[in-house]
Structure 1
Amino acid sequence: MAAMQSIISSPMIRMTTRSRVNQFTTPAVYMPSLRRNATLRVRSMAEGEPKEQPIEPVTSASPVTPSPPPPPPKPRAPKVSTKFSDVMAFGGPAPERINGRLAMIGFVAAMAVEVARGQGVFEQISDGGVPWFLGASVVFTLASLVPLFQGVSVESKSKGLMTSDAELWNGKLAMLGLIALAFTEYVKGGTLV
């Protein structure tokens, strides 16, 4: 109310106009023009500190439906180094994956031969298993290194159930399985099955 009185009593706002009909002077009240892109601020005189409110410009009288937010940008594939020293580094992508893959194949092969022939791990190694182990190691090492030297990351080929983390965990469990199998056969003095 006080704001309206100050607006009405302001000397800049008060204007006098002469009517052609009766020649009396009447004070004219200032009415602000409402433009289409004018912003409107509403302030409250409530107790407490005033809170800043975002100001939204009024564009039209018709209701505007908000547009859906833009989709998030696709994550870029990290650049993979193809240098031999980076690929074969202690924390690089190759050593643990290659060892895990060889351990998975070795564990399955050792269990299959033990069930089929009744030979333990040590018997398999001494009965001509070393050339098979070396041949499989060379083939699987090269098969694992070729994509890494071409810049293809293991994570980029991971989908669904077959993720790179699952492969690492399976490789670690296969390594532990081979050690446990050999240790159990050594302590037992014979085959596990």
Structure 2
Amino acid sequence: MATPAMQSILARPVSGVTARARFSQFTPCSYVPRLQRNAGMQVRCMAEDDQNKDVTPITTPPPTSQPISFPPPKPKVSTKFSDVLAFSGPAPERINGRLAMIGFVAAMAVELSKGEDVLAQISNGGVPWFGGTSIVLTLASLIPLFKGGSVESRSEGIMSSDAELWNGRFAMLGLVALAFTEFVKGGALV
């Protein structure tokens, strides 16, 4: 049989009074240990019958509070002509790098097949090919940028936007080095 003080302690959780305040009402000591909120609760049956000899405690695990993280918002990309084609904008170095990559491969392929150097290739009908390729690649590079797309959004794994920039830079250096070497040598490299 529970005492009236114990009954009042057990009946008060609904009233909003904290466990510490309830417990301190009935204990004369000044130190009251703080009860943990997420402590496991054990429920046991205290029947007099021998039916429940094998009693297993039921414990509730403490709830895990992991913050929900949302992906950062995508930065707005400017589609103004002056921003896209600015010196530090997304278009100039990419377009020049793409043209240099195609130009370097084409120059080396023609040099290996016909034995002509870069200046001979340009003077023997290479200007229209250069102009056509430049227009097509420039438009193909600018249209997604003017629609608000960014180069980094389609960058995955080994084919990243940084890899494209570095390949373009090396191709530009390769074209200049090829033309300079052929000029100093006085003919085709191969």
| Fold conserved between structures, TM > 0.5 | yes
Aligned to 1:123: 120
Q: Which runs of 5+ in 2 are unaligned?
A: 1-8, 22-34, 42-58
2:110 and 2:116 in contact (8 A); partners too:
yes
Note if 1:90 corresponds to 2:95: no
Counterpart residue identity of residue 163, structure 1: S
Aligned to 1:51: none
Q: Relative to structure 1, is the Cα distance of residues 182 and 69 closer, same or farther in structure 2, using a 3 angstrom cutoff?
A: same
Supply the RMSD in Å over aligned alpha carbons.
2.3
Identity percentage of aligned residues: 65
Note if 1:188 corresponds to 2:163: no
Aligned to 2:145: 148
Question: Which structure's residues are more often helix, by fraction?
Answer: 2
Q: Structure 2: how far apart are the matches of 1:85 and 1:39? A: 67
Q: Structure 1: how far apart are the matches of 2:70 and 2:160? A: 22
Alignment of 1:9-48 (within 5 A): 38=19
Alignment of 1:48-59 (within 5 A): 57-58=37-38
Q: Deviations over 1:58-80 (max 9, x none)?
A: 46523424436245212322110
Aligned to 2:102: 105
TM-score (norm 1): 0.69
Q: Structure 2: how far apart are the matches of 1:129 and 1:91? A: 30
The alignment of Structure 1 onto Structure 2 pairs a total of residues equal to 147
Q: Structure 1: how far apart are the matches of 2:162 and 2:90? A: 12
Partner of 1:75, secondary structure, is coil
Q: Deviations over 1:85-144 (max 9, x none)?
A: 000000000000000000000000000000111111011011111111011101100010
1:120 and 1:191 in contact (8 A); partners too:
yes
Q: Structure 1: how far apart are the matches of 2:98 and 2:66? A: 44
Aligned to 2:75: 78
Q: Structure 2: how far apart are the matches of 1:139 and 1:59? A: 69
Counterpart residue identity of residue 142, structure 2: L
Q: Which runs of 5+ in 1 are unaligned?
A: 1-32, 41-54
Counterpart residue identity of residue 69, structure 2: P
Q: Structure 2: how far apart are the matches of 1:56 and 1:163? A: 51
Q: Structure 1: how far apart are the matches of 2:66 and 2:20? A: 24
Question: Which structure's residues are more often strand, by fraction?
Answer: 1
